[in-house]
Amino acid sequence: MSNRTLTATELKQANSLLAETRLRLQDLSGGDPELLFAFRRKIYKELTYDERGKPTERAKLKAVKHALQGGRCAECGDEMPLRYSELDRKRAADGYSPENTELVHASCHQTRQALKNYA
C-alpha cells in the first residue's frame, strides 16, 4: 500500500510551516552558524524519531524479528546476518511494530522499495 500523500492545500500548509520553522531557527540562533547547525540537527533528529522511533527500539525489534523469522530474509528466504538486515514496514504510517514489519536483506529491501515506487 502506498503512503498517504499531501493534497495541494496540505502541501502549501507544510511548506508554510517549514518556512516558519526556518525563520524561527534563524532567529533563535542569532546569526551564529554553529548554533543554527545544532538547533537544526536537534529538530531533525527528534522529528525523525517521531516517524521512525528511536534507534535502540528499532534494534530491539530487529533482534525479535530475526528470531521469529529463524534468521531468514522475509523476501528471498535466504539466511541473513542480523547486522546486514533492515526492517521493512508494510504501512509506513503504522510505524515499527512486530505486526507491521518484516526483516529483509538490505538489497532485498531496496528491491522492494523500487517495486513499491513503480507500482
Site residues (vs Zn ion, CB under 5 A): 73, 75-76, 105, 108
Q: Are 75 and 56 in contact (CB under 8 A)?
A: no
* Min dist. Cβ of residue 81 to Zn ion (A): 11
The residue among 75 and 100 lying less far from Zn ion, judged by its C-beta, is 75
CA end-to-end distance (rounded Å), the chain: 9
Strand pairing report for 85-89 and 101-105: antiparallel
The residue among 62 and 105 lying less far from Zn ion, judged by its C-beta, is 105
* Min dist. Cβ of residue 66 to Zn ion (A): 13
* Min dist. Cβ of residue 108 to Zn ion (A): 3
* Min dist. Cβ of residue 73 to Zn ion (A): 3
Give dist(CA 104, CA 77) in Å, integer. 9
Residues 87, 75, 98: CA angle, nearest 5 degrees: 35
The residue among 52 and 75 lying less far from Zn ion, judged by its C-beta, is 75
Give dist(CA 83, CA 86) in Å, integer. 9
The residue among 25 and 75 lying less far from Zn ion, judged by its C-beta, is 75
Give residue number: closest CB to Zn ion: 73
